[in-house]
Amino acid sequence: RASLAYIPVPSGPPTVYRTPLALLSPPVVLWHMLRKLLVLVGILELLVPDRVITVVERFALENSGDCELRAWTVPMVRLEALVWLLVASRGDPHGRVRTLLALTCGPAALFPQRYIDIGARLVYDDPDRCEWTPWIVPATRMMGLASLLAAFRARGEPAAE
């Protein structure tokens, strides 16, 4: 049974709300914030994948208009959106999604440039024409580290859902 925290209301009569402390713990709060972000990203990628790709390219590429997308890129972005929405709706109580994310994104922590090169070959018809912004390699490394940390954090955690 969870203990309760009493949160006074700043104005009006001294009303007290009872909230289980487990709902206020950092991992739970972080998961709820992440879930909302996943839903937002998933909806945007599902409804307007071309716009999402254009925005991401503007940040990641110096020459965003010069790189030609492969035919399967937009359908894969929509598939990714469905995965994000599924994860957001079902959760990840056993850490399986985080483990899969670590396996697919973890190598970016050790080999960010190679990871970018492989990703560019999957997404673009002409990946050699892509001129990446200077911060894309450190950002890719950070994404890889974050996915590894999330997977290690998932190990040994009891099911939260």
Share of the chain above pLDDT 90, in %: 43
Residue 35 has what pLDDT? 75
Does the global pTM surpass 0.95? no
Give residue 161's pLDDT: 45
Among the listed residues 41, 63, 61, the one whose alpha carbon sits nearest the alpha carbon of residue 51: 41
- Residue 19's DSSP bridge partners are 5
Report the percent of the chain where pLDDT is more than 70: 72
Give me the DSSP letters along 75-131: HHHHHHHHHHHHHHHH--TTSHHHHHHHHHHTHHHH-HHHHHHHHHHHHBS-GGG--
Residue 28 or 103, more confident: 103
pLDDT tens for each residue of 17-48: 555 544 555 556 666 777 788 788 889 999 99
pLDDT (0 to 100) of residue 48? 96
